[in-house]
Amino acid sequence: MIKLDKENSLAKLNGANIHNYLDKIEARDQGFYKIVDNDVSEILDFAKSVEGKYEDIVVLGIGGSSLGTICLRQSLTHLHESIELHVLDNIDPQYMAQLSDVLDFEKTLFIVISKSGGTPETLSQYFYFREKCDNFVFITGPTGLLRETGEKEGIKMFEVPENVGGRFSVLTVVGLLPAALIGIDIKKLLEGAQEMRDKFLSEDLEENMCYQIAQMQHQHGGEGRNMTVMMPYSQRLIRFADWYRQLLAESIGKSKDVGLTPINALGVTDQHSQSQLYMDGPDDKFFIFIKVENLGPEVLIPGDEVYYLKGVSFNKLMHIEQKGTTDALTHNKKPNITLNVPEVNEHNLGALFMLFEGATAFLGEFYGINAFDQPGVELSKKFTKELLTRPA
């Protein structure tokens, strides 16, 4: 079970209005906390039907269509897998050409993900690779070019739930299908999400970690700490911090006066690249640490030349470095909390996804904004299309 250590948060929590905020979230008719109960048999049946057929899976998607899948791959797979998962979340032509050089297209399955069915980056990738093979699966909405193409050409399609936005979609077919294809247990992933969803819906402040985290972020934001640093002490969770960066930025940055800037960091790496700023720089940050209790088998550090490393494992060193960092921040009166995760597995990762999706939903209501739209992103898309259609 994930536990929250908020001793150093420097925040005062009040759960008197949880019920009212839950009502406001429910009124927005968003499905991110409901879809974890959905039947996944179609996904599992498809994964079973293509088992052993492909050596590479390539996801064509961007933003919410890719970041969750990248996190799933980084967190839950071994560095050497029998099936390679590539997530093409950029249109860099050099990278696409290099990927083409290493793929056996007869043994590669492409998953094309666009809820609108018209995302220009994703469509351009699809047009490029359809010239090379015809092994495609579409994940899209009920209308749009991808839907029309899939129906015309008989391509297997899965549908994105209408009331789940891209950045909240990792626990839908968007993340679950690629995960199932590379052997991740998606049922355990959803079980962890369900467990945290029940806490998200609880009116008990001590049980509702989503509400606690959101309230702390909101309080500190009001005191000028409008940056949230997420720093997992686990290489396997660095892409979780990337996923959260989009979730927070795109959900809460909705006006000139409201917004929290997410910063992703990695322990212990960024103790040597960012901690000087964190310790002695401006008091404008709130820190969320993720500590993984079980980092795997104990690996002892060999040699006895340095007395304080004698008999110490890398596991212990990682934990001590995390404690040293949080203690130093606390000493400098920099607010921080720590999420204690027993180990990185499907159940706990599903719970983490739901924990921060729920916290983000509460944050939107605290700020009085819609956490589920993205007008700034849509404006950028509009200008991009206008520029593409102008005369040379």
Catalytic residues: 250, 272, 381
DSSP assignment of 14-32, as one string?
Answer: --TTHHHHHHHHHHTT--T
For 353, the 3-state DSSP assignment is helix
CA distance 155 to 347: 32
Q: In what order do the strands lie in the sheet with 227-233?
A: 3-5, 336-343, 285-294, 227-233, 261-264
CA distance 263 to 180: 30
Neighbouring CB atoms inside 10 A of 320's CB total: 13
CA 2 vs. chain centroid, Å, equals 17
Question: In DSSP terms, which residues pair with 4 in a beta bridge?
Answer: 339
CA distance 40 to 173: 8
How far CA 239 is from CA of 51, 110, 365, in Å, comes to 27, 22, 27
Report the run of H or E that residue 129 belongs to, with start and end.
Answer: helix 120-129
State which amino acid sits at residue 60. L
β-bridge pairing 84-88 and 56-60: parallel
CA distance 226 to 241: 17
- CA dihedral (36, 42, 46, 48) in degrees, to 10, reads 80
